[in-house]
Structure 1
Amino acid sequence: MAQQQAGRRAPGTPGAFSRWMQRTMNARMNRKVRRGRGTFMGMDVLILTTVGRRSGQPRETPLAWFADGTGGWLVIGSGGGSRHPDWYGNLMAHPGRASVELPARGAVPVTPHRLDGADRERAWQRIAAAAPRIAKYQSRSAREYPIVRLTPR
């Protein structure tokens, strides 16, 4: 019995097939962005490059982004689960090593800043208006999705 429990994954942790599917879809989206087609389900997409907080290896994640009116990009850590997505933890662990790629453009080094308080609320209103689907997901989640402003360095 103990051995059977040791082989189980924690609740909310994706299985091998789910992880494979996510990697496959991320790679496909990254290719689309690099070829100049950076939209998915009506949202603009960028590629966020971070460094793994445990592995130290580069990680590329396609993310929906929203204009913030300052020349930067707003991204939201929805992740669909009970914990923040891995890209968010990597970004916060190594903020000085992040960059973004926009459709058919090269990498731009960025500085991340997690929004809180009134800044977060203003950004949330902008995101919810642009993508009501995200607001619907947030309303069903027990955690508050982090919003990060990525500013070019």
Structure 2
Amino acid sequence: MSFDTPHGTRGAKLPSKKLMNWINAWNMRRIRGKASKVMGFPSLVLSTAGAKSGAPRHTPVAYFPDGSDSWLICASAAGAAKNPDWYYNLRAHPDKVQIQFDGRTIAVIPEQLSGQAREQAWRQIKSNAKRFAGYEQKTDRELPVIRLRARPNPAS
């Protein structure tokens, strides 16, 4: 698991932190209320531990099914030059990641894809969500693609 994608030098300008927090809170309420799509995409609430603080963090993220008990997400930040904060949370605390959608909470293992696996997943994402192809054009960083796999239940 690498989680080593550097920031870019150019990218989309994001709304203010205050506005983003309001938008994210609104979208998370919709997802937890069992909305099937948010902003036109199937979405989940990604729960992580803060990279520095360890405090719980929650972010709405578009997802793309990747077989049984596996989902793809992209650290696009709408094409911003910097990776989203949650990307660094995954790197710092990969053992403390959960997702919520469809009324379920699932502990997951994050894996940043690279090489052929990333290219294949990226093609799948762009074919299902043209907006992500636009994000790619706004920045000079490679948009990280993360596979989330359901964490196996420990033997009882």
Q: TM-score range by the shorter chain?
A: 0.7 to 0.9
SS of alignment partner, residue 27 of structure 2: helix
Counterpart amino acid of 1:26?
Answer: N
1:133: how far off? 0.8
**TM-score, with structure 1 as normaliser:** 0.86
Determine which of 57, 60, 79 is the counterpart of 1:59.
57
1:18: how far off? 0.8
- 1:122 & 1:25 partners in 2: Cα distance? 31
- 2:88 & 2:77 partners in 1: Cα distance? 12
**TM-score, with structure 2 as normaliser:** 0.84
- 1:104 & 1:29 partners in 2: Cα distance? 15
Q: State the identity %.
A: 39
Q: Aligned residue for 1:31?
A: 29
Q: Decide whether the 8 Å contact of 1:38 with 1:46 is kept in 2.
A: no
Q: Decide whether the 8 Å contact of 2:44 with 2:99 is kept in 1.
A: yes
1:129 has 2:137 as partner: no
Counterpart amino acid of 1:52?
Answer: G
Structure 1 segments unaligned to the other structure (5+ residues) = 1-10
1:101 has 2:90 as partner: no
- Greater relative contact order, per chain length (Cα 8 Å cut-off, separation 6+): 2
Two-structure CA RMSD over aligned residues (Å): 1.8
1:41: how far off? 2.8
Structure 2 segments unaligned to the other structure (5+ residues) = 1-9, 152-156
SS of alignment partner, residue 131 of structure 2: helix
